[in-house]
Structure 1
Amino acid sequence: MNLSVFGVKWPVTTSMIFLAAILLGAFAWTQLGVDLMPDFEIPVVSIITTYSGCGPQEMETSVTEPIEESVSTVENVDEITSTSLEGISMVTVKFDWGVDLADVTNDIRDKLDLVARRLPDNADKPYIFKFNTSMIPVCMMSVSAEESWDKLDKITDRKIIDALKRINGVATAIQIGGDKRGVLVDLDRERLQATGITGNQIVNALYRQNIDNPGGTIKQGQFEYLCRTPGKFTHVDDLKSVVLATKPGVVRLGDVAEVRDGYLEKSTEFFINGKRGIGIMVQKQSGANTVTVADRVKKALPAIQADLPPDVKVEIIMDTSDFIKSTIKNLTNAVLLGGIAVFFVIFFFLRDIRGSLVVCTTIPTSLILTFLFMYIAGYTLNQISLSSLAIAIGMVVDNAIVILDNIKRYLERGVSSRESAISGAVEMGTSVMASTMTTIVIFLPIIFTTGITNIMFGQLAMIITMALSASLISALMLTPMLCSRLLKPAAVGSSGAIIAKPGFLDRVEGVYEKLLKRIIANRWKAVGGLIVIFVLSFGLMKLVGIDYMPVQDQGRITIKYELPVGTRFEVTGDFGRKIEAIVKERVPELKTLVLRYGKATGQGGAMSGSRNFSYTGQVSIALVPKDQRQRGVKEIIEDIRPEIEKIPGIIVNFDSGDPMANMMGGGGAGFTLNLYGYDLKTGMEWANQLKQALVNVPGLKDLEINQDLAQPELQVVVDREKASTLGFNVSDIGSTIETYISGNSTVKYQEGGDEYDVVVRLRPEDRDKITDLSQIPLISPTGQVVRLENVAEIKNEFGPTSVSRSEQERYIQITGQIYGRGSGDISADAAKVVDSIPVPPGFTWRFAGNEEQRQESFVVLFQAALLGCILVYMVMASQFESLLAPFIIAFSIPFGFIGAMLLLILVGSRVSIVSLLAFLILIGIVVNNGIVLISYINTLIRRKIPLNEALLMAGKSRLRPILSTTATTILGMMPMALSTGEGSEVWVPMGMSVIGGLLVSTLMTLFLMPVIYSLFSRWLVPARQISRLEAN
């Protein structure tokens, strides 16, 4: 049975079906989580290996290369990149989209087990972590104290971080900064030389004396006794009495070293609003909801604070959920305002409250049914899903408007309500299904894409598809039923007509009819003008910029700064405080100011990447919410940039702080250029030439090279012959130097359930100067004391700060930030600059990061658009049973793109993957008006109406439904397009593109499509009607 017939004949059953669905959908809506973006998994796995004291080039050959070779054999690997730093190797494996990360991670773990024997003995075991959106911190916390500072590290770890980890949904809490307690064994060089004891002997002695040994069990009588030898140190003073030698006399550790309970050598500092403290970065579990986790953390904070000493203060300095809540609130308001605007538009055209309510029931019905689908599919309320609803809000009423408009025509002729509802709905059923299908099929290719395109828009395509499907069912089933119960027939032209045309629309129809008649009479001039406009529109591409993804103003600015290579971290802190002073003076919108400098260690250090040194730091700025400030992030950056760049000897880089865009694009850099080649010296010379030339590219700022060959090194070149004669080898000498200078922390000291490093190294006064290195004592197997200078030459050299590789090939990276122009335009200009400078032999180059992602995404979207156009054509060809009619309708599509670009230019936006999606949506929308118009022209011609008369009658008759459906779509999207709140940078270009495209394509449909039809009527109209048409 036809849905419309069923709905009218069984009104109670129909009402119950929709009410049940609405109840389930309303419950589903209350259960939906809230997040910034859809939950997704990035197919990237990183392998981090630490090897204390190892230089970047040695790290590359001894650790990075073996790991790269082993993991390259894993299936579905797309790309392997690596960074080798001092003491750290980070190998990043990018897989094809759609792989099961759990499976490939297990494969990588198996490969690492096999390669472990090839790694240096002193290298730590590689550990693996997977990239995902949970890596974006839920919140950042600060811990400060006065009297309790000495104990703050332990308090933070035991009472704050442990409590945070117990919160449901929290994956981990990472500590940043703080003084780390340790047991310091400061060796006296002269005493070591006098006693003939080496640093490695001391480490071995401590290790052997600091162990609990099991001894088995002894059974006696009825009892069984466990036998063990407790040997762990119970007090720091226990270490002093450890015997190191007995001949010629007893030598204890306290005789050759100062043993004290203190703090490990500091390499990084963390300040909050000018006050020294400790930072805590809270990350959520994969799949957990950001807002929910953040709320739980804030709820647990009072209890955590109550358990701390009075002077210890914990506060949240950055909360990701605040931006998410504001963004979702803005989008929700856009949806509600769009719905209200749609109602008033419908009422304006219908001038009947009952008819308007009938149509508008489609909005809540469709949306609530969509919520039910979202719940079943596991979606959340996020930017993408709510943008989808904002786009759909004006489209879901289109079918109901067309159905209602046809039903009212029967009612105006006096047909009964029941028969009018059935006949009007059945007659237009095929048309509304076809028009809905043209919109739905345009989204099908997106659903089946992979990568960033699917992450960004796969959910959008599914939600709009479900909303339109729900609106179609509602229009075919619920709308006729409501019309049959609420609307009454009336005599044609009587004052009681169900829908009375307002005088304004009468005048609009009259003007439209005159204009259309004139255009048809001058059809060739109209076509000529059309061609001219189309040709001139190609110039628009030069005016509208090309970008990858709009960057959101999240109220954060990160200022990364760098001093000359080798600068001590204490000096780096002084420069950071100068930047702080400038920010405090020039940024009244400031909310929180965080300064972090120096070389981070542990997991935080490994994750910091290639710019994690004693001479680097960053100032993180959190601003008040967007609605409380007059300036955007970019304006503030441009205000403080000149003052900061005046600081002598400093290199700065500004980042506007969109972590999601950074993770999905270029890691924070808007511009990325990779230079591939083995010779680092030649590569750096080329990179410096390019950097100086790229400075002249308009809009490209903060250029930075990720490589530096100015890292000062003291290279100990061993004379192998002399060393062998005295009983030494290179390995023994290197190990001794490492212990004395860097320190050995193999031994651990336990107290109160905590474990602390025991660091064995020379005392500071014996290792502060370069000349101290040559005086290091070496003890031969025969007990002879030899100074290092007697078996080795110490050279002052310079080496690389890091070595980066991609696909097992070295590369140097130039990055920069983009201001005021599109990334596509910047890349085009940069390519010309690169081409103008000779490429050294053995080197190649290509763009990476955002530009690489943009090109890939644009290709995917163009492919989806092409496939979507083919599917739309197939739907229209099936409806009209004609291969030519769809081409007539398709003439409006290019002009929709022209309108979209015009409006983007007017509002200062650029073509990005967001606006490209809007172009894709336009393809499905703009043809709907054409379908309605061409369908009615065909109907009139089948009634043997003369061609020109049919064109005029169809245009005038379809004017109101076309204008009303276009107006509902445009005004439904207007609140989203005009939004200025948080997150608006993403959806404003989408809304503007659809609005501009619809405005121009609707004019094209109303005025020029009848002309195009008349030109091709010979092939569109059956042959037996041609002579009759020509006669008229």
Structure 2
Amino acid sequence: GAVISITLVMSAVFIPIGFMTGSSGIFYKQFAYTLAIAIIISAVNALTLTPALCALLLKNHGGKHQDGTKKTSFKDRFFAGFNVGFDNLTGRYIQGVRFLINKKWIGAGFVIAVTAIAAFMMMSTPKSFVPMEDDGFMLYSLSMPPGTALDRTNEVMTKIEKEFASIDAVSNNTGITGFNILSNSASPAYGLGFVKLKPKSERGEVKDIEKIHEIANAKMAGIKEGSVMVLRMPPVEGFGVTNGAEIMLQDRTAKSPAELKAMTDKVIGQIMQQPGVQYAYTTFRADYPQLELEVDEDKALQMGVDISELLGNIQTYFAGDQSSDFTRFGKFYRVNVKADGIFRTDQEAFKEIFVRNDKMEMVPVGSLVTLKKVYGPESVDRYNLYNSVSITTMALPGYSSGDIMASLESVLDKLPSDYSYEWTGLSLEEKAAGNQTIAIFGLCLLFVYFLLAGQYESYLLPLAVLLSIPTGVLGAFAGIKAVGLDNNIYVQVGLI
């Protein structure tokens, strides 16, 4: 009866977890199903195999002296002494229980005190979603001044690769020029690199990936040609690009890119003043040198040139276009047409291309368009239909992602009414998981309560069992604080 009872109770704890959704539900379900199945297997073993083994192994193997008295081994004397001590402890425990029954206010005060201390430790323990692990991998992002040519970016990338090669723990690193990993866009002023670390046993004096990360950042600070950030991958693949807290700052009133950039810089400045923030950054810039093309529509109309055909010609010559396709050797090939690089290097190239008018005459494109130098963003992200800027914040050692998210909220909740923010990446999952966990914990307690109420045929007796939970929570968080862990998803599964 006791075995079946405890099996039902422990299995019931994990039933609500099976209904969790989202990314956090994936983690919880794995543990829930594994533990529930293990508990059931253990119960079957306790009811079948264990009694048989006990009958086989726990036999009286003691011999007898010549006078017929039973021999007592050291083991027998040890267990006899243990039983005497345990009986004394049981008697004292019973006396203590009787005392607390007569002095109910002492027991109630103890439970309240333990609950308060457990709640305080739970609230004060740093929170995170999934703890970082040593995956032996890092990446870095290079940001050059606006308008930097691809060749210049490539030179700096080569310099960065040499710096990483000088770190003993680095196995190899590969750089890619012309891609911004943080905004997932192509840009000649950006570079991306992947760093593979050696196995821990071969890393030399510094083996901890956090220390290696700090060393790499210190070396990258010496790159004066551009800004280099060494980043860690998120602990769960697919949730964002880095392990930092990531938000999307949204412009809800269609302001200019310059105004959005100014607000972004203001927000980053306020974030940098918060405790625990190592640095905050964004790749959004509104000062890239650009050329604005203006078409003289009146002149084009007078000369019989169709505007769409004019723009189509410019598109084909300067950006390229697919003109046709063909099949050869059993494979399908596309034909892309574009002017050679030497014929599209400056504004004079517009004088060398033509467009046909309605009289089948060739008209120089340069006579219908003018170019003006302007400055603007290289690309603009949209998040939930609003123009948005991604801001990523990295935490100092000793601060959890939950601490940083709380610091960010203290700044972002004071945004003007024409701006808002949304969590994204791993931060969005952590926020959603925190709200869902509270409800799941409540359901677990409710399931256990009703199951115990059915077993005891009482609504009050289960409270005696449930009131022991604060003591267990207190012990768990005391251990967590002692070893310096965060309140992450693995800790929460262990609490359940």
TM-score when scaled to structure 2?
Answer: 0.86
1:661 and 2:219 equivalent? no
Aligned to 2:246: 672
Alignment correspondent of 1:598: 178
Alpha-carbon contact 1:712-1:798 (below 8 Å) kept: yes
Compared CA separation, residues 533 and 475, structure 1 to 2 (3 A): closer
2:474 paired residue among 882, 893, 898: 898
**1:568 has 2:138 as partner:** no
Q: Which amino acid aligns with 2:158?
A: R
Q: Determine the C-alpha separation between the residues in 2 that align with 1:819 and 1:509.
A: 53
Deviation at 1:502, TM superposition (A): 5.8
> Does 2:208 align with 1:632?
yes
Could you tell me which amino acid in structure 1 is paired with residue 342 of structure 2?
A: E
The counterpart of 1:620, out of the listed 191, 194, 205, is 194
**C-alpha separation in 2, matches of 1:886 and 1:501:** 34
Identify the residue that residue 219 of structure 1 maps to in structure 2: none
2:54 alignment partner AA: C
Instruction: Name the counterpart of 1:874.
Output: 450
Query: Which of 408, 413, 433 pairs up with 1:830?
Result: 408
Match of 1:444 among 15, 18, 25: 15
Distance 1:860 1:561 in 2: 38
2:28 counterpart residue number: 457
Distance in 1 between residues matched to 2:276 and 2:292, nearest whole Å: 42
Q: Distance in 2 between matches of 1:758 and 1:880?
A: 79
* CA–CA distance in structure 1, aligned partners of residues 17 and 91 of structure 2: 40
Checking the alignment, whether the CA contact within 8 Å between 1:675 and 1:812 is kept in structure 2 is: yes
What is the rounded CA distance, in whole Å, between the counterparts of 2:201 and 2:472 in structure 1? 33
Q: Secondary structure at the match of 2:43?
A: helix
C-alpha displacement of 1:872: 0.9
Matches within 5 A, 1:738-887: 738-747=315-324, 759-773=336-350, 776-782=353-359, 784-820=361-397, 821-836=399-414, 838-839=415-416, 841-887=417-463
Secondary structure of 2:210's partner? helix
Pairing 1:328-343 to 2, within 5 Å after superposition: none
- The within-5 A match list for 1:316-465 is 430-465=1-36
Q: Kindly provide the CA deviation profile for residues 645-686 of structure 1, in whole angstroms up to 9, marking residues without a partner as x.
A: 23224233332234x6141x3343421112222335232221
Question: Could you tell me how far apart the structure 1 residues matched to 2:149 and 2:327 are?
Answer: 32
C-alpha deviation, 1:472, in angstroms: 0.8
Deviations, residues 853-911 of structure 1 (Å, cap 9, x unaligned) = 12221222222221111111122222222221111111210121111111111111101
What is the DSSP-based 3-state SS (H/G/I as helix, E as strand, rest coil) of the residue aligned with 1:435? helix
The letter for the 1-side match of 2:216 is I
Whole-angstrom distance in 2 between the partners of 1:767 and 1:532: 77
In structure 1, runs of 5+ residues without a counterpart are 1-429, 601-606, 921-1032
Shift of 1:554: 0.6
Relative distance call for 1:502 and 1:851 in structure 2 (3 A) is farther
1:482 aligns with 2:53: yes
Structure 1 residue 466 displacement after superposition: 1.4
CA contact (8 A) 1:654 1:702 kept: no
Q: What is the CA-CA distance between 1:596 and the residue it aligns to?
A: 1.4
Q: What's the counterpart of residue 550 of structure 1?
A: 131
Contact 1:670/1:818 (<8 A) preserved: yes
Q: Answer 1 or 2: higher relative contact order, Cα 8 Å, separation at least 6.
A: 2
Query: Quick one: which amino acid aligns to residue 280 of structure 2?
Result: L
Partner SS state of residue 612, structure 1: strand
CA RMSD across the alignment: 3.1
In structure 2, relative to structure 1, the CA distance for the partners of 1:494 and 1:443 (3 Å cut) is: farther
One-letter amino acid of the structure 1 residue matched with residue 212 of structure 2: I
Map 1:493-504 to 2 at 5 A.
Answer: 501=79, 503=81
Residues 512/588 of structure 1: CA separation in 2 closer, same or farther (3 Å cut):
farther
The answer as to whether partners of 1:699 and 1:826 remain within 8 angstroms in 2 is: yes
> How big is each residue's C-alpha offset from its partner over 1:564-591, in whole Å with a ceiling of 9 and x where there is no partner?
2332222111111221122122x21111
Higher share in helix:
1
- Partners in 1 of 2:215 and 2:179 — Cα distance? 29
Once the two structures are TM-superposed, the CA of residue 515 in structure 1 deviates from its matched residue by 6.9
1:706 CA drift (Å): 4.6
Measure, in 2, the Cα distance between the counterparts of 1:654 and 1:502.
64
Alpha-carbon offset, residue 527 of structure 1: 5.0
Cα displacement (A) at 1:779: 4.3
1:442 counterpart SS class: helix
Distance in 1 between the 2:49 and 2:118 partners? 44
Alignment equivalent of 2:41, drawn from 439, 461, 470 = 470
The amino acid that maps onto 1:768 is T
Q: Give the stretch that moved more between structures: 623-632 or 778-787.
A: 778-787
Give the corresponding residue for 2:66. none
The yes-or-no answer on 1:725 pairing with 2:306 is: no
Secondary structure of 1:801 counterpart: coil
- Residues 148 and 188 in structure 2, CA contact (< 8 A), matched pair in contact too: yes
CA contact (8 A) 2:118 2:470 kept: no
Partner of 2:483: 907
What is the SS of the residue equivalent to 2:299?
helix
**Paired position in structure 1 for 2:65:** none
Give the direction of change, closer, same or farther, for the CA distance of 1:520–1:680 in structure 2 (3 Å limit): farther
What secondary structure does 2:381 align onto? strand
Question: Which deviates more, 743-752 or 675-684?
Answer: 743-752
Q: Which amino acid aligns with 1:547?
A: S
Q: 1:487 to 1:511 in 2, by over 3 A?
A: closer
In structure 2, distance between residues paired with 1:479 and 1:741: 80
Equivalences for residues 506-517 of structure 1 within 5 A: 506-507=84-85, 510=88, 513-514=91-92, 517=95
Corresponding residue of 2:160: 579
CA displacement, residues 412-433 of structure 1 (integer Å, 9 cap, x when unaligned): xxxxxxxxxxxxxxxxxx1121
On the 8 A contact 1:854/1:913 being kept in 2, the answer is no
Q: Compute the displacement of 1:806 (Å).
A: 3.1
Which position in structure 2 is the counterpart of 1:888?
A: 464
Letter in 2 for 1:696: Q
Moved more, 886-895 or 767-776: 767-776
**What displacement does 1:468 show?**
1.1
User: Aligned with 1:614: secondary structure?
Assistant: strand
Could you tell me the percent identity over the aligned residues? 22
1:740/1:762 contact within 8 Å kept: yes
Deviations 1:352-379 (A, max 9, x none): xxxxxxxxxxxxxxxxxxxxxxxxxxxx
Q: Is the 8 A contact 1:598 1:613 kept in 2?
A: yes
Question: In the alignment, what sits opposite 1:684?
Answer: 261
CA contact (8 A) 1:490 1:496 kept: no
Amino acid at match of 1:688: D
Structure 1 residues 905 and 674 mapped into 2: Cα distance closer, same or farther (>3 Å)?
Answer: same
Distance 2:154 2:370 in 1: 34
Alpha-carbon spacing, 1:568–1:750, altered in 2? closer, same or farther (3 Å): farther
TM-score (norm 1): 0.43
Which has more radius of gyration? 1
Residues 892, 509 of structure 1: CA spacing in aligned structure 2 closer, same or farther, 3 A cutoff? same
Q: CA separation of 1:646/1:694 partners in 2, compared to 1, >3 Å: closer, same or farther?
A: farther
- Kindly provide the CA deviation profile for residues 587-629 of structure 1, in whole angstroms up to 9, marking residues without a partner as x: 21111211112249xxxxxx99634322221221111223444
Cα pair distance change 1:501/1:562, threshold 3 Å: same
- Opposite residue 453 of structure 1, the aligned amino acid is S
CA gap of 1:819–1:662, structure 2 versus 1, over 3 A, is farther
Which residue, out of 106, 113, 121, partners 1:540? 121
